[in-house]
């Protein structure tokens, strides 16, 4: 355990990936959540997505949310976009950091955005070029990176091939998404190893779901390889609307609780993040899956 990264950068995705997969909540509640998160010490927040309101009504008020939040200068806010139209909206709203998704599984990509993986990659090439022209950075998220709920296993070579094409076309960073929680630690090691063979220097973010309980075990496997950039969602909000059976993202407070206890600095105040998770739970009105939200940190003792 001695060779873990000294610090990891956490991107909080609750306001976007989380709320996108809950029953719609009022704009004011979204603003409250982003504002709560902005004061936890987290340095990156995926704040909104610019998608068609008919496809994802939960994000129809993206512009209002973005205008109404109290921005913290120490936080990098990003927006997810599904396509060029969404990218134009995000860039027009002033986002300097956008994420675009492509699935390594053709079937999943078609279900998601009605394009083949190759067609999406062509679109992304154009999108990256436009974003760069506006001075924005683009992360390409390769989803179903450890398996597809329709196709099953997706070969590591195919996943890395999709990433490689995006890198060639100018993607600033890559993320691998475990869309329906099909990753296990051995598969994490295999994919990171394969990526680094061809792209030793690319910055990679990992986005795990806890759908089958292995979320934090997968984080550990990646940490041991020196990966130091993870997505997580306050309270464990969210899942994937296109993936039957999928449930929550790795909970941010569970992630930081574990890694901070091992001396890995996240810059995030655990108690503040637990408070934000309680806010998230109140906003969505259902019990969230985070265990640390329930039990509190390991340092919280009871009088004998």
182 lies in the binding site for a copy of itself (CB under 8 A)? yes
Specify the DSSP element, H or E, that contains 110: helix 106-113
**Contacts to a copy of itself from residues 7-66, by CB under 8 A:** none
Taking residues 114 to 133 in sequence order and writing x for each that binds a copy of itself by CB under 8 A, - otherwise, the string is --------------------
Q: Which is nearer to a copy of itself, 71 or 300 (CB)?
A: 300
For a copy of itself, the binding residue among 62, 195, 237, 292 (CB under 8 A) is 292
Q: How many CB atoms lie within 10 A of CB 263?
A: 10
Residue 224 has phi, psi (to 5 degrees) of -65, -20
**Contacts to a copy of itself from residues 151-170, by CB under 8 A:** 151-152
227 lies in the binding site for a copy of itself (CB under 8 A)? no
Stretch that binds a copy of itself, among 84-92, 155-163, 275-283, 293-301 (CB under 8 A): 293-301
User: What span, in angstroms and rounded, lies between the C-alpha atoms of 300 and 215?
Assistant: 23
For a copy of itself, the binding residue among 129, 262, 265, 282 (CB under 8 A) is 262
**CA angle, 47 then 219 then 111, to 5°:** 55
Distance of closest approach, residue 138 Cβ to a copy of itself, in angstroms: 29
User: What span, in angstroms and rounded, lies between the C-alpha atoms of 3 and 225?
Assistant: 9
Q: Under rule CB under 8 A, how many of the chain's residues touch a copy of itself?
A: 53
**Residue pair 80/101 in contact by the 8 Å Cβ criterion:** yes
Stretch that binds a copy of itself, among 34-42, 113-121, 131-139, 256-264 (CB under 8 A): 256-264
Query: Counting Cβ atoms within 10 Å, is residue 272 exposed (0-12), middle (13-18) or buried (19+)?
Result: middle
Stretch that binds a copy of itself, among 50-58, 123-131, 167-175, 244-252 (CB under 8 A): 244-252
Single out the residue of 241, 5, 230 nearest to residue 113, CA to CA. 241
Looking at the DSSP bridge assignments, the partners of residue 76 are 44
Specify the DSSP element, H or E, that contains 68: helix 62-68
**What are the tokens at 19?**
């709320």
For a copy of itself, the binding residue among 65, 100, 124, 148 (CB under 8 A) is 148
**What are the tokens at 187?**
């598969």
**Contacts to a copy of itself from residues 185-224, by CB under 8 A:** 185-187, 189, 210-217, 219-221
For a copy of itself, the binding residue among 83, 120, 143, 290 (CB under 8 A) is 290
245 lies in the binding site for a copy of itself (CB under 8 A)? yes
Q: Which is nearer to a copy of itself, 91 or 228 (CB)?
A: 228
**Residue pair 188/145 in contact by the 8 Å Cβ criterion:** no
**Among 240, 250, 280, 293, which one carries the catalytic annotation?**
240
Distance of closest approach, residue 111 Cβ to a copy of itself, in angstroms: 7
Distance of closest approach, residue 214 Cβ to a copy of itself, in angstroms: 5
For 22-56, b/e burial (b = at least 16 CB within 10 A) is: beebebebbbbbbbbbbebbbbbbbbbbbbeeeeb
148 is catalytic: no
Q: Which is nearer to a copy of itself, 24 or 185 (CB)?
A: 185
3-state secondary structure of 15: helix
Residues that bind a copy of itself (CB under 8 A): 1, 107, 111, 147-152, 180-182, 184-187, 189, 210-217, 219-221, 244-247, 251, 254, 257-258, 261-263, 290-292, 294-304
The set of catalytic residues is: 240
């Amino acid at each position: 355990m001695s060779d873990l990264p000294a610090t990891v950068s956490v991107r909080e995705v609750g306001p976007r990936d989380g709320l996108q997969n809950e029953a719609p909540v009022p704009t004011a509640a979204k603003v409250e959540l982003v504002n709560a998160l902005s004061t936890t010490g987290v340095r990156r927040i995926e704040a909104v997505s610019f998608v068609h309101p008919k496809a994802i009504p939960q994000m129809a008020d993206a512009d209002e949310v973005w205008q109404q939040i109290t921005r913290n200068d120490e936080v990098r806010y990003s927006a997810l976009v599904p396509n060029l139209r969404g990218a134009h909206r995000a860039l027009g709203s002033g986002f300097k950091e956008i994420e675009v998704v492509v699935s390594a599984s053709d079937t999943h990509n078609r279900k998601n955005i009605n394009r083949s993986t190759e067609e999406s990659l062509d679109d992304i090439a154009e999108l990256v070029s436009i974003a760069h022209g506006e001075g924005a950075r683009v992360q390409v998220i390769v989803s179903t990176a450890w398996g597809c709920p329709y196709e099953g296993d997706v070969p590591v070579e195919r996943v890395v091939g999709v990433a490689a094409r995006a890198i060639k076309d100018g993607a600033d960073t890559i993320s691998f998404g475990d869309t329906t929680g099909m990753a296990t630690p051995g598969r994490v090691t295999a994919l990171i190893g394969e990526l680094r063979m061809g792209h030793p220097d690319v910055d990679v973010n990992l986005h795990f779901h806890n759908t089958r309980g292995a979320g934090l075990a997968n984080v550990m496997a990646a940490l041991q390889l020196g990966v130091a950039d993870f997505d997580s969602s306050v309270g464990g909000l969210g899942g994937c609307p296109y993936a039957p059976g999928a449930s929550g993202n790795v909970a941010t407070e569970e992630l930081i609780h574990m890694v901070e206890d091992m001396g890995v600095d996240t810059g995030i105040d655990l108690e503040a993040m637990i408070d934000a998770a309680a806010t998230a739970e109140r906003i969505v009105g259902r019990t969230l899956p985070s265990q640390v939200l329930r039990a509190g940190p390991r340092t919280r003792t009871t009088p004998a």
